[in-house]
Structure 1
């Protein structure tokens, strides 16, 4: 289900927002024991938010853009009055006294908070197997991993346990689990989204971004969470475009660079290579200009990442272990 189909349910008048949201909780109660996507649920918060939207509907008042949309939050993003554990024993009892800027914007836009999602401890992993709450399973095949570190967010969207989730991406932690779970994941440009309230891994790389079922849903979430934030000095002071308005535009003439070294790596799975190249041809058929690019230092990227990320992580996380 995407946002627009859910809105049709709301507009039909057959059920209140609160009733529709509680249907998600029933589904979570049924499926989460198998998938382990959520670390905790926020039913009382969701009920209160849902009732507020229902009052607006009853009084024929203008609805905020994400009115009634059920959303999950990765458990390294602070939510006021709710445990934010980073899937670690160190923070298992930490109840955040404040709301992250990104999640706060979602609630101001009418989103409904369903709960917090599982991750690799302190977002350090690519499989969501290192959580103190246990591993998350891929909803398409519970014997496989959902990717990580935002595996709980990706799995919850793929399993229909929410309509959208936000995660954090340092070195692929939104994009890779979204790929594993067959949903849409986006790491925004650095500074596009405030990092205030994100428990930092590597500050020069971390970004908060959406995981959704469709590109248009991702555009809506990104629009809601983007923009300048005085609480984050690295946040861009630039106007936020209406991403939805660009989705129907032709891509004819847009230049897309294909890094040759990506396809020469011995670890590249042939099926993945074939899938990516077929997408390239799809873009070409739609009028995009495809350019092959040589990037000789590309394969040094992982080594570089494993210098930068652990150095920043050791500085950021020393506060938790002394």
Structure 2
């Protein structure tokens, strides 16, 4: 089966100079995409270095016969985010795909984490996600086409030790992507999250000696499909690691309705409230044209139970 092509598509990848970002850039450029490779070349803590990963990646792409330009603006400011998207529009005249991959890590126990450490990670992951998504989304809606891939994490889904900042930012990106999926649906703009696991420099300090192979090559095909015109899902979270690709989704138990509750009754009913046999899912994006999205379906299910019992 021939693989997917991105001929004439323009792709912006934040944090595209190293690790997963570089793997995405090389895969999509090799499939015909024109790529804006954004990377500041800073350390995981955000400190400046003498490295130029954006330039190095672009040089490798061009040497392989592809088309790419380097961008070294920061996603952490609105001006920087706009400059990244403007470079795609000014250089190639369009933007078809945004992959927000830029990230940093600053670890600390929650009881000891300073506001500065907390904010410094949100500024890159979550605020940075908004700073590039907003101008890209506006251009995509105007053009009537777009594919957005935001990078979340299993840490954003389930939490982890000493990364409250990272987990909060990654969870926030899911909500941001969901809104882009809802508002983008009428404009053929799809937005999804990738929850990747790969051994890259973000794994520094983690004992990976017992891990199975976790190279970027196990993640890039899923990201490539989410970025492609044939992508058939929006408002989803796809996990990819070590050869496994799965969908993570939110579900609700049917729950219990009562005309009134006391605190003690909540505790007494918790086992029934937690009964997952008839769990419900509410797709983020409407499943039919003009139909309700997940937010409204949640309200509808709750209201229906109240009316049936009231």
Which band: TM-score by shorter chain?
A: 0.3 to 0.5
The structure with more radius of gyration: 2
Length-normalised TM-score, structure 1: 0.33
Length-normalised TM-score, structure 2: 0.34
